[in-house]
Amino acid sequence: MDTNTSALAGLIWSVADLLRGDFKQSQYGRIILPFTVLRRLECVLAPNKDFVIAAAERSQDVNETALNTILLNVSGNAFYNTSKLDLSKLGETHIRDNLDSYIRAFSKDAREIFEYFSFETSLDKLDDADLLYKVAQKFAHFDLSPEAVDNYHMGLVFEDLIRRFAESSNETAGEHFTPRDIVNLTTSLVFATDDKILTKPGAISSIYDPTAGTGGFLSCGMEYLHELNENARLATFGQELNPESYAICKADMLIKGQDITNIKLGNTLSDDQLRGQHFDYCLSNPPFGVDWKKVEKAIKDEHKEQGFNGRFGPGLPRVSDGSLLFLMHLISKMQSPTADTAGSRIGIILNGSPLFTGGAGSGESEIRRHILEQDLLDAIVALPTDMFYNTGIATYIWVLSNHKPAERKNKVLLINATDMHSPMRKSLGSKRKYLNDDALETIVNLYSRYDLNELEQSGIAKIFNTTDFGYRRITVERPLKLAFYPHDSERIEAMQADKPWAKLDESLKSAILAALAQFEDDKLLSRDTFKKQLTAVLDGVKLPAAAFKLICKHIGEQDDEAEVCTSKGQPEPNPDLRDNENVPLSENIEEYFTREVTPHVPDAWIDQSKCDEKDKQVGIVGYEIPFNRHFYKYQPPRSLEEIDADLDAVSKDIMTLLAEVHS
C-alpha cells in the first residue's frame, strides 16, 4: 500500500476519535466500514445521479424487474440510488429518518450490504449518542470519487480499514479475517507458476473462496494480478456464512468494480450457491477443527446418493472436524485442463489433523488417497505456530493443481517454514509471529523454482513421490494356544459370575462343575485333549458349543507351550494377539513380513482375507503425510552434570526466597 492510500485510510479511521467514549473500540468498524461504503457509492453514482432520479420518476408504472434494468443502464454501474439525498443533504433535525430513506433508495444488492452490516442498529446508537450528524458530515467531506481514488486503490483503502477493524476486535478477528502475511503467501504460491498465463494480453481468470470471510483472498488475488498485468481481469466468486463478514466482502468487491451477485451468503457445505461452476483459482482458510454436525444429514445424503458425481465421493471425515470437506469441495470446483483452459490451482490453509488423522480405510485416509493417487497435491508448507488471531496451533498451506508440469508429476514438495517467523511488535490476540517479506520470498522461490540442488541445500524443503505417503495395513495373526486349568478356583468363580453362565440349564451347570472336579491333571496343554476328557467325564450330557466357549474363556489361557488350536485343519487365530503392520506401498508385503515380523514371531501369518476394496489386493491401503517425522531433528538429552547444576541453582533460589520470608 502506497503512502497516499495509507494516509487516506488513516484519515477515514480518524472518525474513531468522535466515537471514543460512547462506543467500544471493537465497535468502531461497524460504523466506519458501512459509512465508507456509503460515501464511496454516492461518489461513484454522482455523475449520473440526476439522470437516474429522472428516469425513476418517468418509469413509475413499469414493473420492478424492468425498472431495475432501466435504472442500471442509466446509472452505468452495477447499482443505483433513486433518492435526492446524500450525506451532505441529510439536515440536522430529521437526520436519522432521512438517512434511513436514503439507504432504502439503493438498488437491492447495494442495499443488502447495509442490512447485513446491521447498520440500522449502529445508526440508532449514533443517534442516541447525538453523534449521527457529526459522523455523517465527517464522511461527506471525504473525496472518494473514482477520479480521486480509482477502484484498485479504493480497494486497498477498504482493506486497510478491514484490517484495523479486525485488529481492534481481537476476540472475533479470527472468525472472519486471515492475517495478511498468510494471505500473501498462500496467494503467491497459488499464482506463482502461472505468471506466463496471467501476463497474456486480455487475460481473464476467475478466483473463488468458499469461506470468503471479509474477502481477503479475493482482494489479494486481484492485487497480485494487477501487479503482473494491469489489463488482466480477475472475476471474483465467493460464499460466506457470517452475515457481517459477507457484508464486508460484498462491499469490498462492489468498491473494486466486481459483479457482487457472485458473492453469496450461506453455508457452503450444505448449500453450495455456485453449484456446477468451476474456477481457475481457489483459495480458502476454512475454520479449524469445527464439527459439521449441523449439516451432517445434507452431506451424508450427497455422499450416499451422488458418490463421485457429487463433492464428497472419496469419503467423509469424522464429524468433529470438517476441514477435509472444504478441501473436497474445492477439488470439485477445479476445471479440467483442455485446449482452452489450463486447469485449476488450489491454496487452502488447514490444521495438522488432515495430514494424518484416521487409519487405513477411514474417511480421512480415503480422501488423502484420492488426492495423491489423482496426483493433485503439489506442495505443503508448514507455518510457524501463533500465526492467527484466534489460535496458536500448527497450520499448513496445501497447494493443489490438476495441471502439474512434467518435473512435478507424481511428486509432492514439503517445505518446513516453522522457524522462519519474526516476532510481532505487539501481539494481536493469539498472533505473536508473522512472516516478513524475506521469509515470504524464500518460501515462494523454493516452491516456484523447484531447483533440486537449491531445495536440498535449503534444509527446509524435501521432494517425495506421491506413493511415499501410502501403505498397506496387513493383519497379522498368531495361533491360539490354550492351556487349561480345571481345578483353579478363581477361574471357576469367574466363569460362574459371567452372564452367559446364568443362561445355562441348572443340570448342565452342575454337570460341568462336577466334571471339572474329576480331572486328574491340574494343567492340560491341548484343547482337543481337554475337550475329549471333559466330554468323557460328562458321560452323555450334551455340551453346547456356547457352553464350551464359555469354559474355554475362563478355564483356558494363552500359553506358548500349548498345542496350536485348529479349526477345519487350519490354525485358529487368537483375537487377543491380533496386530497390524503398515507396509510401505513401495515394498512387497511378503518380503516385509519375512524381514520385520517372522524373526520375532515365527508362527505368525498374514490374514489373506483382509483385502483392499479398490485394488482387491491383500492389505487395506492407507495414506498419511507425517510432516514432522520427515523434518525431525534429534536433540540429544542434556548431560546429568548440566541438569544437576540447574537443580542446585533452583534450590539455592528457593532457599534464598524462604530466608527472606522468615526474616
Give yes or no for a contact between 37 and 251, defined as CB atoms under 8 angstroms apart. yes
Q: What percent of the chain has pLDDT over 90?
A: 70
Give the tens place of pLDDT for each residue, 610-647.
Answer: 999 999 999 999 999 999 888 877 778 888 888 888 89
The three-class DSSP label of residue 422 is strand
Looking at the structure, tell me whether residues 307 and 434 fall in a common domain: yes
Looking at the structure, tell me whether residues 214 and 265 fall in a common domain: yes
Cell numbers linked to 564: 496350536
Looking at the structure, tell me whether residues 183 and 128 fall in a common domain: no
pLDDT of the residue at 173: 41
Looking at the structure, tell me whether residues 273 and 373 fall in a common domain: yes
Cell numbers linked to 104: 432504502
Q: Is the residue at 347 inside a domain? A: yes
Q: Write a three-state SS string for 285-307.
A: CCCCCCCCHHHHHHHHHHHHHHH
pLDDT of the residue at 288: 84
Give the tens place of pLDDT for each residue, 43-62.
Answer: 999 999 999 999 999 988 88
- How far is the CA of 190 from the CAs of 307, 371, 448, in angstroms? 28, 17, 10
Looking at the structure, tell me whether residues 268 and 391 fall in a common domain: yes
Looking at the structure, tell me whether residues 268 and 317 fall in a common domain: yes
Give the Cα separation of 401 and 378 in Å (integer). 6
Q: Residues 239, 196, 463, CA angle at the centre, nearest 5°?
A: 80
Give the Cα separation of 54 and 288 in Å (integer). 51
Q: Is the residue at 32 inside a domain? A: yes
Highest mean pLDDT range out of 187-201, 203-217, 606-620? 606-620
Looking at the structure, tell me whether residues 409 and 554 fall in a common domain: no
Residue 142, Ramachandran bin (φ over 0: left; ψ between -120 and 50: alpha; else beta)? beta
Question: What is the maximum alpha-carbon separation in the chain?
Answer: 113
DSSP code string of 440-496 = HHHHHHHHHH--HHHHHHHSSEEEEEGGGGEEEEEEEE-B-BEEE-TT-HHHHHHHH
Mean pLDDT (the chain) is 91
For 623, residues 6+ apart whose C-beta sits below 8 A from its C-beta are 365, 368, 369, 372, 469, 470, 471
Q: Which of 461, 440, 441, 459 is nearest to 450 (CA)?
A: 461
Final residue before a domain boundary, out of 104, 127, 144: 144
Q: Which helix (H) or strand (E) holds 350?
A: strand 345-351
DSSP code string of 63-124 = -HHHHHHHHHHHHTSS--B--S--GGGS-SSSHHHHHHHHHHTB-HHHHHHHHHTTHHHHHH
Looking at the structure, tell me whether residues 137 and 32 fall in a common domain: yes
The three-class DSSP label of residue 624 is coil
Final residue before a domain boundary, out of 406, 439, 469: 469
Residues of the domain holding 108: 1-144
Give the tens place of pLDDT for each residue, 468-516.
Answer: 999 999 999 999 999 999 999 999 999 999 999 999 999 999 999 999 9
Give yes or no for a contact between 349 and 178, defined as CB atoms under 8 angstroms apart. yes
Sign of the CA dihedral with 365 first, then 366, 367, and 370 last: positive
- How far is the CA of 203 from the CAs of 15, 197, 199, in angstroms? 40, 7, 7
For 4, residues 6+ apart whose C-beta sits below 8 A from its C-beta are 153
The string over 494-516, giving b where at least 16 C-beta atoms fall within 10 Å of a residue's C-beta and e elsewhere, is ebeeeeebeebeeeeeebbeebb
Looking at the structure, tell me whether residues 283 and 412 fall in a common domain: yes
- How far is the CA of 311 from the CAs of 94, 270, 346, 440, 519, in angstroms? 53, 11, 15, 33, 65
Q: Is the residue at 11 inside a domain? A: yes
The three-class DSSP label of residue 411 is strand
pLDDT for 194 beyond 90? no
pLDDT of the residue at 175: 47
The three-class DSSP label of residue 417 is coil
Number of residues written out for the chain: 663
Residue type, 99: L
Give the tens place of pLDDT for each residue, 85-123.
Answer: 999 999 888 899 999 999 999 999 899 999 998 999 999
The β-bridge partners of 264 are 239
Give the tens place of pLDDT for each residue, 264-287.
Answer: 999 999 999 999 999 999 999 998
R_g of the chain, CA atoms, integer Å:
35
Q: Is the residue at 452 inside a domain? A: yes
Give the Cα separation of 103 and 62 in Å (integer). 22
Looking at the structure, tell me whether residues 59 and 195 fall in a common domain: no
Cell numbers linked to 69: 434494468
Give yes or no for a contact between 106 and 80, defined as CB atoms under 8 angstroms apart. yes
Give the Cα separation of 208 and 282 in Å (integer). 5
CB atoms < 10 A from the CB of 16, how many?
17
Give yes or no for a contact between 417 and 439, defined as CB atoms under 8 angstroms apart. yes
Looking at the structure, tell me whether residues 499 and 446 fall in a common domain: no
Overall domain count for the chain: 3
Q: What CATH number did the domain enclosing 284 receive?
A: 3.40.50.150
Lowest-pLDDT range of 167-171, 355-359, 402-406, 437-441 = 167-171
pTM above 0.75, yes or no: yes
Q: Is the residue at 357 inside a domain? A: yes
Final residue before a domain boundary, out of 87, 109, 144: 144
Q: Is the residue at 620 inside a domain? A: no
Q: Is the residue at 36 inside a domain? A: yes
Q: Is the residue at 659 inside a domain? A: no
Pairing of the two strands 556-558 and 482-484: antiparallel
Residue type, 533: Q
Res. 2 pLDDT band, cuts 50 70 90: low
pLDDT for 429 beyond 60? yes
Residue type, 642: E
Q: Which of 433, 432, 429, 440 is nearest to 175 (CA)?
A: 429
Looking at the structure, tell me whether residues 339 and 381 fall in a common domain: yes
